[in-house]
Chain A
Amino acid sequence: MILVAVGTQFPFDRLVETVDRWAATCGTNVVGQIGPSTYKPAHIKAHNFLPPKEFESLLKQADLVIAHCGMGSILSALSLGKPIIVMPRSASKGEHRNDHQFATAQRLSRQPGVTVAWDEAEMSRCLERISALQDSSSFSPIPPKAPRELTDRLRTFLWEGRR
């Protein structure tokens, strides 16, 4: 199963439509949380919003995740060892408040398990070679928690105000 995740805040029709066209022919079960996207997918089992527990359970079942370039999607996928294809949202197309997803994409393009598709054309090309990208044995899941070094320091500050 492939899980599509574009958050819940803004529409992302470019991604949803590209994946939907591919889903028509791919023969794989594609499920998605598409938020307020206006495009109505015919081949994705799409929900505008999935409650956190349902989303988590779909994520566990997924073989691969296709998402906007949001840290929530990326961290959630990688901590479960799921490969993820991400496409950044563009503010000029009304897909977000600003273009920070391009910066995220740039920084994470070398992260094992993450494939960046900069636009729809590249997303289509990624989808054509999805079986190669789906190989989760090529990387290890990231740890489930932040490094102890950071959380210990934060704990000390929260309790004692010491830096």
Chain B
Amino acid sequence: MGRRSRHRILAVASAGGHWVQLARLSEAFEDSDTLYVTTVAGQTAPTGDRAVAKISDGSRNEPLRLLAAGLQLGLLMLRFRPHAVITTGAAPGYVALRLGKLLGCRTVWLDSIANAEELSMSARLAHRYADLWLTQWENLSGKTPGLDYWGQVL
């Protein structure tokens, strides 16, 4: 990799399906300086030369672990100073968008393709903090004000 881009993007996804979908978006991050964040160790960054950061994996059922994830994200973001934050979920991604908004970042929520009939809880909570709020299902976009559809990762 050559010189790092001056545009910094924080790309956050929980392990599993959320991560696989984020990685499929990597062409959007090719010319940015991208810091990827997930909830298991040993993941490989789809673009760039930065190691993938590992944070705790909390959910609304595990608020303490979610708080830990928030603290880790806060520290990462204060050091990295992203211009934009993008997430495919789940709960830690929601926390990342909230923190991103506090730090003046542009924020994107792309809801998981798994949510075909209704938005996830994190997606609904993320609405207030997302400059761009996307679903991968056109039918959901049609019946939810503010929710956009730009296509699927498939």
A interface residues with partner B (beta carbon < 8 Å):
7-9, 51-53, 70-73, 75-76, 97, 100-101, 103-104, 106-107, 142, 144-155, 157-159, 161, 163
Number of contacts between A and B (CB, 8 Å)? 115
A151 CB, min distance to chain B CBs, angstroms: 4
For the complex of A and B, the 6 pairs showing the least CB-CB separation, nearest first, are: A72-B17, A71-B17, A151-B28, A154-B28, A151-B27, A150-B151
Nearest A residue to B11, CB-CB: A158
Contacts of B18 in A (CB 8 A): 72
A83 CB, min distance to chain B CBs, angstroms: 16
A51 contacts B154, C-beta separation under 8 Å: no
* Bound-complex Cα distance A73 to B108 (A): 24
A145 contacts B108, C-beta separation under 8 Å: no
Contacts of A70 in B (CB 8 A): 16-17, 114
Contacts of B132 in A (CB 8 A): 157, 163
Contacts of A152 in B (CB 8 A): 27-28
B7 contacts A71, C-beta separation under 8 Å: no
Given A149-B151, A154-B28; A71-B113 close (CB under 8 Å)? yes
Contacts of B86 in A (CB 8 A): 154, 158
B43 contacts A100, C-beta separation under 8 Å: no
B145 CB, min distance to chain A CBs, angstroms: 16
Contacts of A159 in B (CB 8 A): 7, 32, 84
A104 contacts B114, C-beta separation under 8 Å: yes
Contact of B16 among A7, A100, A148, A157 (CB under 8 A): A7
Contacts of B44 in A (CB 8 A): 52-53
Given A71-B112, A75-B153; A150-B43 close (CB under 8 Å)? no
